[in-house]
Amino acid sequence: MTARVLHRAGWLAVVGCCTAVAASCSLFRTSVPANSATGRHSTAPTRLAQLDFGRDAVFAQCVPPACPTRTPKTLASEAPRQPIDPVALRAPVEPVAPASVPPSPATQAEPPRTITVQFALGSAKLSPAARSRLDGNMGDLLRARRITIIGRTDSTGPLAFNQDLALARALAVRDHLRRTHPALTATLTLQARGACCFIAPNDTLAGRAQNRRVEVVFQMDEEDQP
């Protein structure tokens, strides 16, 4: 008797659960109007609906009336985008000519200048003409950064004598410059070249007279050059 009662109670519980599940499913069922001709409910077709708008728009399938309602705002369409031509983006670049830079004038070193004074045969004494020539070029000598005084002789006489005579003639010119302008002392350099470096033939009196000389070689300071 007790087992039969328990068996009936179990069946009643199962039936109650099924009824509850069926009732809950009916809550989510969308009511669809019945077809007037057949009297049966027709199944509503699904359609593709836009769930957003603009660049963020997404599309999904829905069943009316669960689909979103269209409004003037959602129906507004964005302006059509113009296709971008990649060739148009690459605008031709016009070549730009480099700015012309005027060439700087080449700095050319001024060639050395030479003042030549003559001496009598076998003498190392400055003549009035030699002093006058040195004094006339004193303005340039004062602007020179270095002055080289070179004594010369002709080819007559012993070599040792000519060497001493060439040095004596160079010393005579140096002493005159130092006495006239002591500031030139730091720029003066001596050389003696006896019986050497002739500028004229020694077989004539005139040629030997030209070879008996002192050469004052100097170069102007760069700041004083034009």
Euclidean distance between CA atoms 110 and 216, whole angstroms: 16
The DSSP 8-state label assigned to residue 212 in this structure reads S
Beta bridge partners of 192: 151
pLDDT value of position 62: 72
Instruction: Write down all domains in the chain, each with its CATH number in brackets.
Output: 113-224 (3.30.1330.60)
Structural element, H or E, at residue 176: helix 159-180
- Taken in order 202, 203, 207, 208, the sign of the CA dihedral is positive
Question: What digits encode the pLDDT tens for the residues 110-126?
Answer: 789 999 999 999 999 99
Q: DSSP letters along 33-50, please?
A: PBPTTT-SBPPPPPEEEE
With 0-12 / 13-18 / 19 or more C-beta atoms within 10 angstroms meaning exposed / middle / buried, residue 77 is exposed
Answer whether 0.85 is exceeded by the pTM. Answer: no
What's the average model confidence in pLDDT over 155-164? 94
Euclidean distance between CA atoms 52 and 73, whole angstroms: 11
